Structure 1
Amino acid sequence: MIWGRIKTAKGIVLSGEIREGMLTPSNTLGGPPCSEPVAVDGATLLAPCSPGKFIGLWNNYHAAAAKNGTTIPDHPLWFLKPDSSVVGQGAEVALTPAAGRVIFEGELGVVIGKTCHNVTEAEAEAAIFGYTCINDVTSLDVLNADPAFAQWSRAKGFAGFGAIGPVIATGLDWRDLTIRTLVNDRERQCYPASDMIFSPAEIVRRLSFDMTLNAGDVIAVGTSLGVRPVKAGDHVAVSIGGIGVLDVTFMPG
């Protein structure tokens, strides 16, 4: 099942249309469903949900940890991105001068479907509504500006730095997914989700010890090798089979 959202409607994407008729917990992920089918072709897709919390992980892939010489964490290492950073498919992201040097990070996103707190792994698995594509854009200059304090949320919180979409797909086995990132049609990342250190259900379980997760919350499960700086004019596409392609274009700030 595929869930999508445009400015005037939300619902299941079938045969190129957004159609009314959502599965529980659909009514927690946005406004009312569309009463009439709306063609996806030619429509501007919004982010498929409006997360109350947008959580990102660092150091969650074995290959990247090995190359970077980082220790395998005992607990997911996470930060928060503000909701004002969220954009959807086809967005133009301004490279504000305040951000300095900026990189893309193509990632798999987990969308929470129901409230969970202090849950078991089975309960965490049941709380996952579906999966989406993420571009967790990051300012390296801001992140490392103060040697006494790494500024994770600020570095990842500028407008447009949290791209989500194009849809939320349900019924996928995350182990079968491959995350690809293309910059100006040139592949820069291609890595298997199965290389994750913490699985999606384990991430949800452990984060539920730290905070209450609510329907619509999004977790970017981290990136692997291949991230690079971007410049104005770059077109970056995060592609995951079974979900789709999330495109953004970087513009002068």
Structure 2
Amino acid sequence: MTSWVRFLSKDGSVGFGLLEDDCVVEYRGNMFGDPEQTGGRRHLDDVTLLSPCVPTKVVALWNNFHALAEKLGKAAPVHPLFLIKPPMSVIGPGAPIRRPRAYRGKIAYEGELGIVIGQRCSNVAVDEADRYIFGYTCINDVTAVELLDEDPNFAQWCRAKGFDTFSCIGPAIRCDFDWRAARVATRLDDTERQNYPLDDMIFSPAQQVSLLSQDMTLMPGDVIACGTSIGVGSIKDGATVTVSIDGIGSLSNTLAATGEQ
């Protein structure tokens, strides 16, 4: 099993490495290039895990699962439907989701699989796309729901999903991952709200990478959020959302209570 993480040490330095049992085997250099092992090891109790990559952008898909499309009465798209989330929206496991200061409406979670790009990618064919995928991670794609249609003249997807802390990513990037056999499970506090198979995707990861690379250049560390399925819901202040994918891990983030902003 090959799972990469980024971490913050107690002295304030940021590092990265491979998970091995309850430790991180440290590396230096470029995670997406030719990283070198330092010989150091850190126990997970001695570090804080960060988002496992630092994307230049998060590309978030909509309507990419057959079950949800059927429930919503939507036809399957012929090209991925997506929006762009800025890098400032990214946080790692355990970091608080922060409500926008001027917004008091509903905030929703979406448990998703994330594709992490490993090398510069532009106009690649489907049968070549897998070699541009570094690995996979968990995502909670957060939305300020009531801003989507605040202006009837323009659906504000980027604004509603692009706030700081609204892209929760982690805990690790799993390289040798068989997405076809996996499921996404999302818990809101102690209640399971989502549990869906990834093989229900309309566009496979390779198709996503190929088609999106025709629209924009994807860079190492960029993340594609593969879209979600049935079970999306709202988060109350103080509630914790945990997105779990067997083989990758569990990503937990709490919506900060009012007054803890």
Q: TM-score range by the shorter chain?
A: over 0.9
Contact 2:182-2:246 at 8 Å conserved across structures: yes
Contact 2:32-2:119 at 8 Å conserved across structures: no
Query: Shift of residue 67 of structure 1?
Result: 0.3
1:69 matched residue in structure 2: 73
Query: Shift of residue 236 of structure 1?
Result: 0.7
2:11 matched residue in structure 1: none
Q: Which amino acid aligns with 1:199?
A: S
The change in CA–CA distance for 1:142 and 1:35 in structure 2 (over 3 A counts) is: farther
1:153 matched residue in structure 2: 158
TM-score, scaled relative to structure 2: 0.91
1:224 matched residue in structure 2: 229
- The alignment covers a number of residue pairs equal to 251
Contact 2:32-2:134 at 8 Å conserved across structures: no
* Cα shift readout 1:79-122 (whole Å, capped 9, x = no counterpart): 00111110000011122243421100000000000111111112
* Cα shift readout 1:204-251 (whole Å, capped 9, x = no counterpart): 000010011111000000000001111111011000000000000111
1:199 matched residue in structure 2: 204
The change in CA–CA distance for 1:233 and 1:79 in structure 2 (over 3 A counts) is: same
The change in CA–CA distance for 1:13 and 1:123 in structure 2 (over 3 A counts) is: same
Misfit runs of 4+, over 3 Å: 31-35
Query: Shift of residue 20 of structure 1?
Result: 3.1
2:182 matched residue in structure 1: 177
The change in CA–CA distance for 1:33 and 1:147 in structure 2 (over 3 A counts) is: farther
Q: Which runs of 5+ in 1 are unaligned?
A: none
Distance 2:36 2:100 in 1: 35
1:2 matched residue in structure 2: 3
2:23 matched residue in structure 1: 17
Q: Percent identity?
A: 48
Q: Which runs of 5+ in 2 are unaligned?
A: 9-13
* Cα shift readout 1:26-63 (whole Å, capped 9, x = no counterpart): 2459x986551111135211000000111100000000
Distance 2:64 2:32 in 1: 31
The change in CA–CA distance for 1:27 and 1:120 in structure 2 (over 3 A counts) is: closer
Higher mean C-alpha displacement, 115-124 vs 51-60: 115-124
| CA-based RMSD | 1.9
Contact 1:121-1:205 at 8 Å conserved across structures: yes
Contact 1:9-1:33 at 8 Å conserved across structures: no
Q: Which amino acid aligns with 1:88?
A: G
Contact 1:25-1:114 at 8 Å conserved across structures: no
The change in CA–CA distance for 1:176 and 1:212 in structure 2 (over 3 A counts) is: same
2:55 matched residue in structure 1: 51
TM-score, scaled relative to structure 1: 0.94
